[in-house]
Amino acid sequence: MKLARYHGAGVVRIEDEPEPICPPRGLLIQTEACGLCSGELMDWYMDRKVPHVLGHEVCGRVIESQDDRFSVGARVFPHHHAPCLNCDLCRRGHTVHCPQWKRTKLVPGGMAERFQVSAENLNDTLGVNHIAPGDAALIEPLACVEKSKRRARWAPEDRTAVIGLGVMGLMHALLCPGAIGFELNPDRRSHAESLGIAAESDGQYDVVFVCPGSQAAIERALELAAPGARIVLFAPLPPKRPMPLDLDALYFRDLEIITCYSCGPEDTRAAMQSIEQGLVRADQLVSHRITLDELPDAYLRMKRGEILKPMVFF
């Protein structure tokens, strides 16, 4: 079978791999759709994983099942990590720090014609027969946004700013009606406006979502934050690059800095519900529907900021 493997320095190759088998008590999946995540474009993050099969924004059809909850032919969304749901971290709601969550993965990955879902991963696998493949493949990234919104304690009355209107920023704005978007790229600003997202305006904000992992974006958030505001850092900065923060200003303005890493089962369920309600759709976010063979070129184009989001349809 064919899959897409990342080899470092932005190089993606389509390669042949032996067919996977159904894992004990797990599932074997025929991939239907898989999105390319913006996190998979970060060299500093990806190069330490090489060689690495891309793809975790994925859905597919069950072609072999060893679990009665998922029948052959069913469409499923499997999260690439799943917690045990029993440890102290899980009980306290910190599922993404569960040891099982950290060790689980899809094998060989979502950007493959077929892949395994282990029994452990079934703790965060959802049946999605009623959802189109392109929409179902958005559950994982949208779940990260659901967690971001939850950690921000967002309420409809909050004056809300979203910095960065790539796909993740657009999702934040779509889930937080009335949010104001801030974006340097004119094409992205125009696309956001076509979705009904208002462009940047002067003022102060109670919640600021910072989607790019950059010092400039964080500094802009501090400028926009009202006293008592919650600032959510949605993306990481490269490691070992300290960023100066005016702690005096943070303290005397009562600002909260909130981080948001990945998502867990409660977030994937919330994302599925938002998709069921039509709040977020693939046709709003997926700019290029491509084949697996077209992914290496699309990877570079997304990395250069030329396209918004490609999704592979198998």
Residue with tokens 């490691």: 239
Distance CA(129)–CA(77), nearest Å, equals: 10
Distance CA(70)–CA(63), nearest Å, equals: 10
Q: Show the low-confidence residues of the chain (pLDDT under 70).
A: none
Mind listing the pLDDT tens digit for each residue in 264-276? 999 999 999 999 9
Mind listing the pLDDT tens digit for each residue in 289-314? 999 999 999 999 999 999 999 999 99
- pLDDT at position 141 is 98
What residues have CB less than 8 Å from 55, skipping those under 6 apart? 4, 34, 36, 106, 109, 110, 111, 112, 312
- pLDDT at position 249 is 87
CB 31 within 8 A of CB 63: no
Among 267, 288, 308, which Cα is nearest to 77's?
267
- pLDDT at position 240 is 83
Question: For 164-262, where are the E strands, in sequence order?
Answer: 180-182, 198-199, 205-210, 225-233, 256-259
**What's the whole-model pTM score?**
0.97
- pLDDT at position 137 is 98
- pLDDT at position 200 is 83
